[in-house]
Structure 1
Amino acid sequence: MAVTHRPSERLPERPLRIAMVIPPWLSVPPPGYGGLEQVVHGLVDGLIARGNAVTLFGAGHQHGTAADFVSTVPELQYERLGEALPELAHLARVNHLVSAADFDVVHDHTTIGPLLAGRRAVPTVATVHGNPVGEYGTVLSDTDAGVGLVAISHAQRRMNPGLPWVGTVHNAMDIRDVPRKTAGGRGPVLWLARFSPDKGPDVAIRACRAAGLPLVLAGKCNEPAERRYFAEVVEPLLDEDVTVVFNADRAATLRMLVDSRCLVMPIQWEEPFGMVMVEAMATGTPVVALRRGSVPELVVDGVTGMVRDRAEELPAALREVVRLDPAACVAHAARNFSIERMALGYEEVYRRFALAAVPAREPIAAH
């Protein structure tokens, strides 16, 4: 039976006690590629910097945040990524550990968390990290009435406006120590993503070849589907003008961004956010992307990158992008995607949600 959460008039007057829940196969921060893990890392530390108390619930032994850490299982469950039982067991253990005496709000980053959160005596907000359609949309549509969903972009919300959204908060990153370029990049074009047809590495190869520019494909290639896609689709397209880098760590990816001409994002799906675009702009590297999903929400066309409608338009944009000012890219990232801004946005959602017996929905912003 779902639990009805009583409003607490005391919440705005004191720091919040937040239970942050991540999937059991992720480590925070990530050792290499990992957008969700990077966002959670920044959010946890940002919330603590604002005076809140955060407990991170995950798997394994190690983490690199300022939060208290509670592990529900001794080892990371990465080898079982995609299976239902590890996440279900993890969430069941979390539910036993979370009580209203210890926490004001639970922030869930798992896929199936919204289905189980109604059993908690603590209000839960759940960030939707993927596209809220298809099977995932079916899961989210069955979210308990006492659970509020948070979108990471307005574009994402527009894909399924009927879900119980209670806020939109853009992802963010700590850009204070990020290396930055001082002049327009003359190096190769960089594609940085997981090897998937959604990310368009084949489109990137063809666009750079048509533009006469070298390309670096720096991709996550760990899972069977990623390895199979690389072998069957990407590898046959490779030639001397393409360099492949597998599973680079964070320091290496930041260095590649700084040294690159631009980041190319020829996405073939409705990208709900695209953290790598923020990373690129934070280093002063402009983004050349197709107009899908959140791209026009993140990239300022003609200022921090070039947004195009068709793949055929990418080669010209790749040649022209060097005229953009790196400083404008950095300023845009700092102004719109800072850890402080993200932490404040989520804190406002927590307070508004925890004070409501029935969560109020937010209108969808036009963009």
Structure 2
Amino acid sequence: MRILVITDPVIPVPPIDYGGVERIAASLCQCLRDMGHVVDLIAGPGSQSFGGRLFIHHRPSTKRLSRAARKAWFQGISAAAVLKADCVINFGRLDYLHLILKLAKPLICCFQNPILASEVEWLVARRSRNLALVGISRAQVEDVRHLAEFSVIYNSTNTDLFEARSGIPEEGYFVFLGRLTANKGVDTAIRVAKKCGVRLKIAGNRPQEEDGLRYFNEEIKPHLGDVIEYVGEINDEQKKSLLGNARALLFPIRWPEPFGIVMVESLACGTPVIATRCASTPEVIDHGKTGFLAESEDEMVEAVQKIDSVDRLECRRQAEQRFSSKVMTEKYLDVIQKLVASHSA
């Protein structure tokens, strides 16, 4: 089959550093190609071809005319790209799909962020057939299932890029990896580490907006030192080492994150995860087997104290069986094949 994949233009596919959605799109494109399919891609500057045609679109400025012009430009390149495709997979903005929605071409819309009812209503009002909706966790789609049928396909990581060790790492630190914002809960990770008397390494990008800077300066910076260490932003190679040598990943989110890909990357390293029981975390973490789910900060402290009882090879096994790029791609292919067959009938 010939499959067209669409992403937003802000971050290239694959991303250089930060870019969760773009990393998922890249993994899907690569696996589809490896399975013998032709993959065309519409993505931002710096993106690479996956064997098929590559169409570059650009981010508009904040000016209204610029946005209108970029949207019109996108209609032109999408018209050229969609004609030869058997199916379209969209990871990008919905309001750019006006032309594609008017065509009969099978379309899969994958939602990587919290889903608004208005988004679903907008889509199904414009396309009643040849449309499949994909969410990335049951928690994410729970409140919109009454509006349309959703398939749930968990995000993945390329498990071949990570190695797992069976023993407890000698360095003995815990790790927090993510954007340093209040909803990610890094302040909770710091308090838990201090209560347990363990080292914590913090990695991630610092927000530059006023609230984000205030949060970093008030909740994170005063605690930094030999025990609580901020290592800055890291690339993929550094991530493997940081996660693989940690006793556990702390994932104390306090918002309904649809799917935290860092949990899967940690498991692929054989590193268990201690997470708040929130949104999709119970779908990813097998409580007691690949980590622990905590209802409170005190429960997270208890989890730290018993984390070495988790079998690190079991963490790796579940990452391979449930969250590998191949598993994800096979599930997308199942949706694609059903959609294309229905279209041809």
- Fold conserved (TM > 0.5)? yes
Quick check: 343-352 or 216-225, which moved more?
Answer: 216-225
In 2, Cα distance between the equivalents of 1:148 and 1:229? 40
Structure 2, unmatched stretches of 5+, are: none
1:108 partner amino acid: N
Distance verdict in 2 for CA 1:334–1:17, change over 3 Å:
same
| Candidates 217, 238, 254, aligned match of 2:202 | 217
| Candidates 18, 24, 30, aligned match of 2:15 | 30
1:48-197 alignment, distance < 5 Å: 48-63=33-48, 65-73=50-58, 77=59, 88=71, 91-100=74-83, 102-113=84-95, 116=98, 117-132=100-115, 136-143=116-123, 144-145=126-127, 146=129, 147-185=131-169, 186-197=171-182
Per-residue deviation at 1:238?
3.6
1:34 partner amino acid: G
In 1, Cα distance between the equivalents of 2:52 and 2:215? 38
Confirm whether residue 269 of structure 1 aligns to residue 255 of structure 2: yes
Aligned CA RMSD, in angstroms, stands at 2.5
Distance verdict in 2 for CA 1:106–1:291, change over 3 Å:
same
Q: Between Structure 1 and Structure 2, which shows a larger proportion of helix residues?
A: 2
| Candidates 313, 330, 338, aligned match of 1:327 | 313
In 2, Cα distance between the equivalents of 1:65 and 1:297? 31
In 1, Cα distance between the equivalents of 2:201 and 2:70? 35
In 1, Cα distance between the equivalents of 2:80 and 2:161? 36
1:308 partner amino acid: A
1:95-128 per-residue CA deviation (whole Å, 9 max, x = no partner) reads 332333x011110001335863413442211110
Per-residue deviation at 1:78?
9.8
In 2, Cα distance between the equivalents of 1:153 and 1:61? 30
In 2, Cα distance between the equivalents of 1:303 and 1:248? 28
1:330-351 per-residue CA deviation (whole Å, 9 max, x = no partner) reads 1010011122211111111112
Per-residue deviation at 1:68?
3.5
Quick check: 185-194 or 60-69, which moved more?
Answer: 60-69
1:190-217 per-residue CA deviation (whole Å, 9 max, x = no partner) reads 0111122221111111111111111111
Distance verdict in 2 for CA 1:37–1:243, change over 3 Å:
same
Q: TM-score, normalised by structure 1?
A: 0.83
In 1, Cα distance between the equivalents of 2:303 and 2:78? 50
Quick check: 34-43 or 272-281, which moved more?
Answer: 34-43
In 2, Cα distance between the equivalents of 1:139 and 1:184? 46
Please state whether the residue corresponding to 1:56 is helix, strand or coil: strand
Q: Which has the higher contact order (CA 8 A, sep 6+)?
A: 1
Identity within the alignment, %: 26
Distance verdict in 2 for CA 1:149–1:66, change over 3 Å:
same
Confirm whether residue 296 of structure 1 aligns to residue 279 of structure 2: no
Structure 1, unmatched stretches of 5+, are: 1-15, 359-367
- The aligned residue for residue 206 of structure 1 is 191
Aligned pair count?
334
